[in-house]
Structure 1
Amino acid sequence: MKIAWWKWLPFQRWRIVGEAESADEVPDRLPRNGVALVRDTNRVKWIVFNCPCRTGHRIMLNTDAARKPNWSLNEVKPLTISPSIDFQGANRRCHYFIRNGRIVWAKDTYR
């Protein structure tokens, strides 16, 4: 997956920066506020991005309705993913929404 140079420009809202056919093709490094889609010929299978808390963990969201949990994606600008994303690691919890290309942290989040 190749990412255009202008998608690396800072201070942009959350947006789709590229598409790949498998999760292995998504680069380790993505632009800030950038989302990569893993899709087959006619549907998105995964949404991949780096967590907005900026501690370096990768988020992969399933979009297949046959598997639970799953998320939906509004591919039209601005980017919206629903429902909320709730990552719980050993020492941290990141709970937020991506609405209209912006992060909205849930009130119960401790960072």
Structure 2
Amino acid sequence: MKIYGLKNCDTCRKALKQVPGSSLIDIRAEGMPDGLLEAALAQFGAKLVNTRSTTWRGLSEEDRANAPLDLLQAHPALMKRPLIERDGELFLGWDQNTKAALGAG
């Protein structure tokens, strides 16, 4: 199972600790595999962009108007985290529903 996020993100570290056998891919350092971002956007839509982040607040109105895919490619930290991939299935965030689906505490 792969957890896509940031190595300094507390929520990503919690998910990594609670899901045995998972690995964290730092999207800022390593990027995302081809097609994964598009698949996540198709499944989660605008929810994939974290509009409560400090990165979002630092963007100009002009930048915010860009397409979500362009925004996330230019600013990986804008992605809601973590994005978890298990056998082709995608999960977004680390809430009770995601924990239950993955069998995590």
Give the structure with the larger strand fraction.
Answer: 1
| Common fold: TM-score over 0.5 | no
Looking at both structures, which has the greater relative contact order when contacts are Cα pairs under 8 Å and sequence separation is at least 6? 2
Quickly name the TM-score band, shorter chain normalised.
under 0.3
